Structure 1
Amino acid sequence: MNRRFEDILMPVADAGAIMHPEFALLKWEALGNRLDVGQLCYLKRDTSRSRRELHTFDPASISKDRVKAVRKLIAQLSEKSDAGGSRPATVYLDGRVVINLLNWADRRGMHQALCARRETEVAIKAYFSALRELASQSKLSVNSAAAEQRTLLSVLKTYFEADDFGADLRPFRFRRNRVVGTEVPDSERQGLLIAWADAVFTGLGSNVLQFTPYPFVIGGAAGQTVQVLPNHYGRRDGDASWGLKGWNLKTGEPRTYKELKQRYIEEGSKYPTQHASTVVRTTSNQIKEANSNARASIRLAHAITSAYAFAVLFLAETGINLSQLMEMDWCDDLVNSVQSPSVVRQKFREVKYRAGGVEIAFKVSVAFMPKLKAYLALRGYLAKDATVDKLFLGADSVGKAANLNAQFMRHFYQRLESLGIVLPEITPRQWRAAKQDWAISNHGPVVAAGIMGHTLDTALRSYSNGTDAAHKSEMGAFFASVEKTVLEAGVELPGSLNSSVGACVKFQSPESISASVAVKPDCKSSEGCLFCGQYRVHADATDIRKLLSCRYCVRLTCGRVETVEQYDASFGTVLRRLDFLLDELRKRDGALVASIENDVDVMGNLDPFWESKLEQLFELGLA
């Protein structure tokens, strides 16, 4: 049979009041996808087809235990949605991995999964083995398997309220070279957007609040200016569009009847007089309406554009993520808090207020405080005729003021383009990466992780890419030494000694490959050997396994650093050196490297030296 579907908007006030979890389709305002958790109530189902209406269910297979479990799962996802700090997509993924597990388990008769802890642990152990098998056959990437395994464990630990759930399971470790950190936008791109966002926020916002007349001019980056007109027409085609023919876009002045008539004659119009008169009248009416009505549609539209610009400035200033930005509630108490913020350190202020029974706090610089106060006044203007409950506002589908949505950056760029401002795009995640990059450079990763509100491991792995220029001198040194370092298989090295990462042609005579590389050559450590001018590596199975095994162990320990200097000068540089050498070996025998890489990273078959090293790391609690 097919079954009924009922949309449930997340978060829900009381999951226990949901009468029919078997019908449930969870949805989030900021997310297009819906999550079909209701399907899990039927132990026999076929959901293999992509279209939901083609899914089939055995009505006799509905399980009371599973209905109870699904209701509990909805409550858990709802609570996480309501708590804030997690994007809707993150909560959706939590539910998605549980559905994946139960689809797999139910097909194998493990129907007590999610209903009882012991049976769930049995099911997830078998499921992990299945994921490992898929990864070993290259049917699933290691990182995808690792992400699903770790998310499942996190969700089910919370679900069963047991930190030791699945304690004997060993999920995949992420292959760090496959996790691509967020690109930090270069300073020129950041500067352009900040300059124009500031100009648009200040220029349009003050025009709205002070009720100054149209047209007017705003100045942005590099001395450029833009004429702001009292109409909604975009400038992609310049003044060739009918709505802009009445304006001189360079001066911001209305064109005269004489100018327009001559233009229509030159364009071959049959009715130049009538067309010129119509455009003059329309332009005049636009100016009259905008300058006589404080809530004219053009002023409201420009107020929303100004609000978008402030949201961009706030992202750049604080580095919070998009979900947190959208979920910040509004409360009248915020106005008082902004007038008397707390001093957290020199040149920084912390704003605290309570909204919805929850304390909200954020830190901004002293220089940013006037902008925040101006935005609160602008928000008051927008909220006058709107039903909104969030701090940050944007526009709904018909252009009226509404709570900010996840697409606001795209809308902001479109509005900039309508003003004739075309800029390279920077995503909210890239702004967060830029803030992280600044925080790490100035304070170190531990402090930066606290400022940004995520773990140290996340700070180093996902946001700390830095700009391309940061590693150029280092890579230059690698390239300069590659010809003598990487050798073809079978090349003999008389008098050389085998090492844990390859071979040494002159033991106890370390020679730095470049002064620009932070790691110094050292005959007492494997890592130091990699940066020595006496080091050699062959494009054969033995040396390739040594390098891959070394990388495997380094990855296990690099998350334990406490300063950016320690990470970048040691682990970061070592991993980049290893990846560089492996890339060079791939150029010589890509198939061999790929085969051994899978054997080491997936199957765990390390070189004997590194196998013993790994055991030591586990015994010492360092991995």
Structure 2
Amino acid sequence: MSLELRPTVIIDVPLIVTEILLNPDQIIIKFPHGETADIGSLCYLKTAKDKRRGIKDIHFGRLVELESFIDSRRNQIRKLIKIISDQLNFGSKNSVTVKNSVDTFVSFIRWSDQNNFNNVLEDYENSMKIFISYSEFLNTRYSKGDISLKHSDTQQARVFNLLSIFFEQNTLSHETKNLKTTDFSKKSKSQAVKTYKKSINYEIRPTKIINLPFEDNVIPFPPEQSIIMFPTKKTLDVGFLCYLHVGPLKLINQKHVRFVQLKSLCETRKIQVRKLINLISDQLKLNNLSVETIHNHWNRFITFMKWADENKFHNVLDCSVSANNTLTFYSEYLSSKFSHQEISLKHATLQLLTVMNTLSTFFDGDNFRHKANSLKVSDFKKKLSTQLPIIIKPTIRYEIRTSKIIDLPLKIDENILNPEEVIIRFSNGRSVDLGALCYLKAEPVKEYKQGTSRYQKNGRLVHLQSLSNSRQDQIKRLITIVSDQLNHSGLRVKTIIDSISRFVAFMRWADESHLHDVLDSSDKAHNTLKVYSQFLREKFLRNEITLKHAERQHTIVIKILSDFFDEDDFGHGLFVFKSKFNISTATEPPCELAQARLLALCNALFKGIGSLVLDQKSYPYKLNLPEFLDLPNNFLWLFPAESWFKRPENAFIKRKICFGFNYRTGQLNTIKEIKILRGHSLRGDEKIIIEAQNNIDAANSNYRNSQRMHVATVAQNAFIVLFLAETGMNWAQLVDLTWSRNYQINSERQLFRTIKWRANGKECYFELSSGFMPIFKRYLQLRDFLLGNQPCEWLFFKLGKRGLGQPSQIKDSLHNFFKSLKKIDPNLTEIHSRQWRAAKSDWLIRNTDVSTTALVLQNTEKTVLSSYIAGSETKHWEEMSNFLNQVSNVVQGKRENTKNITLRAVGGCSSLGKPKSISEKIPIASNCVEPEGCLFCDKFKIHVDEIDIRKLLSCRYCVKKIAPLTSDQNTYENLIQPILNRIDIFVTEIKKRNNDLLEKIQYEVDEEGELETYWRRKLEMFMELGVVI
């Protein structure tokens, strides 16, 4: 065998950019954690036994015999790579686990090829038979001590799982054991490997006969000795099931006795056999079946148990799950024997039904009777019969089509000649393949990948003969609708991309469901949408998607179809998905201390670094920072180096770069200090000092030096944090902000300034406080410095590495910037745009109202209430503490010093005539006229004694009596409910101090009507007027 190198290419998995794998025989896949697997070599039947025979470069792959190439394997390997990619993309397993499974599966395929099982991936039936042989091979290796039991079981489980996924079968069990069978298909090799089993010493065991049925259900001797005798004098050896290794049947003393390996006695099985004997006894006593029938029934079950032990399903009776898995394989075993005409259909059916009924009785459940493995003879015949023709679906050839990219929005009078070729591209670079919808058959992919960037280069693979003429005009109209949305809807580009991608998913579902006429008319679209609604509903009920996802998908499809057919009520009469927005968790604003620390640090960085680059200060540069950082003299030294700063305590920790700079003193390091940093002294130490000085000179002579540009981007990021905190914008709004140097500043609101400019023919604006304007103007200077003479349409942008390169729109978050900040302040809390938005909302809610908050944040009131009204935890604790202190101050102890207390109808007053409300948001005014106003006054006092408790409870009694008189629900909630809630608060506090007294007075007031004098007269007045009965 001549082994040679083959052409190879390394492809990262999961697949992201392209789905087209043109030469799978060349592919070596690389996992996210860096390891590789040579999948492409499986296209060759003969390969090197070891991986690369000493070749260390992973690009070379495994040595192969080029003549052993199998063309049919190409599609199989292509499918396998996609399965691996999907497991990494959407599965719960990590990269290392998937890699281990792939290695195991590759080993299985190589073993199959070495043993001439070349058709292992052609169909499921053959693969299972080859897998059975592979299981036998592994168990043989285990019996020889070559591998552990855990290794054998793990190998089998991994292979079985991948085979099930590959052939789209339900995975039956991850604890697959060896399954013997003597028959293989004609395509398979009759025996994969020669196996040599260790000889087992079978012996006669002690036996005794039990006459059934017995009366007290007590087995007089150990179950492993039991041979049961039926009333007809027929015997059945049941006790041998207590032994896991059983020999041939022998006739001894007129009794059929099994030989066993005495050492294989299983204590667990003894308990199970005892239960089986009791079941047989109960059947004989209680069942109407004949003794002969019961005997045959249990004879069949013992046959099943013997088969299970022979194939190492020793845990078959341990639990219903184990029994279920074993039964699945037993069904396949009977199917195989029937297909090879070794048993009759009636025998196979009766054997399977007997076992299922017995297991149901044994585990006290009917789950085995309801298994899908055919309970009826006719169904079983459909499954097992070899006479039925094999239906092979014609394969569809998916090919690359001619494609072209069209930028949206369309130009005026731009005409689309060949819509089937169109891939639309948006301003942010994202693309959606709409042209592929002109073909009724396209390559199936995962639903959530439809319409996304996977196909932005070549487009989706399609069946070229499925091009629809009517669909071409429909897609042309759809492209026009998307273009108009970009021009006139005011929606963000990302929102439109999401909408059209979801619609593509709907169209692909319709085509795969053969509902190709979905866009032919409004009625047909409406009928298709009814089916789609049910489809989404079923997916939600199966927990495959969330209710929110279903609602959004459904709503977007209705909206686009409504635009397509120009019908406003297109969704009328359809099933409506309604998610509960109130269950979503509102964003909690960060605590005020975390906000203050971050803003102070970013402000210092922006001002300090801004001065360095804009005022052309020299290196080394002293950057002043806030006091809370605990820095000596509250500053850091900046140098023109890759490590542009270090905290002083880290200045002499060993490092690999920037040896020449002393971050503690702001000078160059001495040779002795360099030795400390390097751990040793070398001849080049003097050169390091010279190079460090040259870096400083270069940065000070060129004010657009790369090091200055780099720290200028740091200042830009610091300003972005300040800008987010100031405006409360979300991240998408910020990165989409355009800019023009021809801007205007207007004073439309006191203490605020509105910045306006025009971009792409549209007027743009945002509002800043007047105090923030100097900082914003300073940023515009920094922006001009970073851009130089380069044009840029974005207010915020990113440059290339270390501040050099062409400006482009920001796409990433500030994660790397926060990593740098944490080197300055290790205790820093990251605060992102959504949290700043919540913080601004929290301030507005506390100081204005919901409507004003929604207006400033440019949200609906519903969004503000559901997403931005959580309030900070610190503020919650502060408010709760104030509330408890307030209640505690109101409720006084014993009535000892009452000189300064004026008696009132509901308690006492510490300063009559000087009312002050405890909160401005309470609708009930605090005054010295109405008694209920006292409850919300900060001068209100209550003593825990009979006088004040009776006053308070009498007030509550009267308020409840007049509550039904309120004109509407709004009045009740604004006037009555606050009074009752306030009284309940005081009652709760009183209960803590004197519960016995409270319960006594509460009974007297509520049950016997013994009100305090003022409130009794008040109630009598209402009764005389006929208001209260």
Give distance in 2, aligned partners of 1:201 and 1:133: 54
Q: 1:259 to 1:88 in 2, by over 3 A?
A: same
- 1:300 has 2:696 as partner: no
- 1:3 has 2:413 as partner: no
Query: Mapping of 1:351-430 within 5 angstroms?
Result: 351-396=755-800, 399-400=803-804, 402-416=807-821, 423-430=828-835
Q: 1:259 to 1:138 in 2, by over 3 A?
A: closer
SS at the partner of 1:4?
Answer: coil
Tell me the amino acid that sits aligned with residue 253 of structure 1.
Q
Query: Mapping of 1:32-431 within 5 angstroms?
Result: 34-48=431-445, 56-81=461-486, 86-176=491-581, 178-224=583-629, 225-233=635-643, 240-261=654-675, 267-269=679-681, 271=682, 274-334=683-743, 337=744, 341-396=745-800, 399-400=803-804, 402-416=807-821, 423-431=828-836
SS at the partner of 1:333?
Answer: coil
TM-score scaled to structure 2, two decimals? 0.42
Of stretches 36-45 and 8-17 in structure 1, the one that deviates more from structure 2 is 8-17
* Kept in 2: contact 1:42–1:62 (CA 8 A): yes
SS at the partner of 1:240?
Answer: coil
* Kept in 2: contact 1:260–1:276 (CA 8 A): yes
* Kept in 1: contact 2:755–2:765 (CA 8 A): yes
1:503 maps to none
2:420 maps to 22
Of stretches 431-440 and 96-105 in structure 1, the one that deviates more from structure 2 is 431-440
Tell me the amino acid that sits aligned with residue 400 of structure 2.
R
Q: 1:54 to 1:379 in 2, by over 3 A?
A: closer
1:127 deviates by 0.9
Q: 1:25 to 1:301 in 2, by over 3 A?
A: same
Give distance in 2, aligned partners of 1:422 and 1:18: 57
Give distance in 2, aligned partners of 1:317 and 1:90: 25
- 1:466 has 2:871 as partner: yes
Give distance in 1, aligned partners of 2:667 and 2:487: 51
Q: 1:359 to 1:46 in 2, by over 3 A?
A: same
* Kept in 2: contact 1:11–1:79 (CA 8 A): no
Of stretches 191-200 and 408-417 in structure 1, the one that deviates more from structure 2 is 408-417
* Kept in 2: contact 1:113–1:120 (CA 8 A): yes
1:124 deviates by 1.7
2:117 maps to none
1:472 deviates by 6.5
Give distance in 2, aligned partners of 1:135 and 1:18: 39
Q: 1:210 to 1:448 in 2, by over 3 A?
A: same
SS at the partner of 1:45?
Answer: coil
1:7 deviates by 6.9
1:6 deviates by 4.7
Of stretches 91-100 and 137-146 in structure 1, the one that deviates more from structure 2 is 137-146
Give distance in 2, aligned partners of 1:193 and 1:383: 27
Q: 1:438 to 1:41 in 2, by over 3 A?
A: farther
Of residues 858, 867, 892, the one that matches 1:453 is 858
Between Structure 1 and Structure 2, the one with more helix by share is 1
TM-score scaled to structure 1, two decimals? 0.68
1:420 deviates by 7.3
Deviations along 1:272-302, whole A, 9 cap, x unmatched?
xx33212211210111011111111111112
Deviations along 1:604-623, whole A, 9 cap, x unmatched?
xxxxxxxxxxxxxxxxxxxx
Of residues 432, 439, 444, the one that matches 2:844 is 439
Q: Which has the higher contact order (CA 8 A, sep 6+)?
A: 1
Q: Say what the alpha-carbon RMSD is for the aligned residues.
A: 3.7
Give distance in 1, aligned partners of 2:816 and 2:482: 29
Q: 1:29 to 1:456 in 2, by over 3 A?
A: same
Deviations along 1:568-600, whole A, 9 cap, x unmatched?
x99xx9xxxxxxxxxxxxxxxxxxxxxxxxxxx
Give distance in 2, aligned partners of 1:328 and 1:358: 12
Mind listing any 5+ residue stretches in structure 1 that lack a counterpart? 477-514, 520-561, 574-623
* Kept in 2: contact 1:213–1:291 (CA 8 A): yes
* Kept in 2: contact 1:86–1:323 (CA 8 A): no
Deviations along 1:36-72, whole A, 9 cap, x unmatched?
3332111122323577689652222222332333333
Which is higher, the Rg of structure 1 or of structure 2?
2
* Kept in 2: contact 1:235–1:420 (CA 8 A): no
1:212 deviates by 0.8
2:251 maps to none
Deviations along 1:122-160, whole A, 9 cap, x unmatched?
222221122122223333322221222223333433444
1:435 deviates by 2.2
Tell me the amino acid that sits aligned with residue 666 of structure 2.
G
* Kept in 1: contact 2:714–2:817 (CA 8 A): yes
Tell me the amino acid that sits aligned with residue 347 of structure 1.
L
Give distance in 2, aligned partners of 1:333 and 1:307: 21
SS at the partner of 1:242?
Answer: coil
* Kept in 1: contact 2:408–2:424 (CA 8 A): no
Give distance in 2, aligned partners of 1:454 and 1:263: 54
Tell me the amino acid that sits aligned with residue 275 of structure 1.
G
Q: 1:268 to 1:257 in 2, by over 3 A?
A: closer
Give distance in 2, aligned partners of 1:247 and 1:83: 57
1:597 maps to none
Give distance in 1, aligned partners of 2:839 and 2:490: 19
Of stretches 396-405 and 369-378 in structure 1, the one that deviates more from structure 2 is 396-405
Give distance in 1, aligned partners of 2:699 and 2:489: 39
SS at the partner of 1:349?
Answer: strand
Give distance in 2, aligned partners of 1:474 and 1:128: 47
Tell me the amino acid that sits aligned with residue 643 of structure 2.
Y
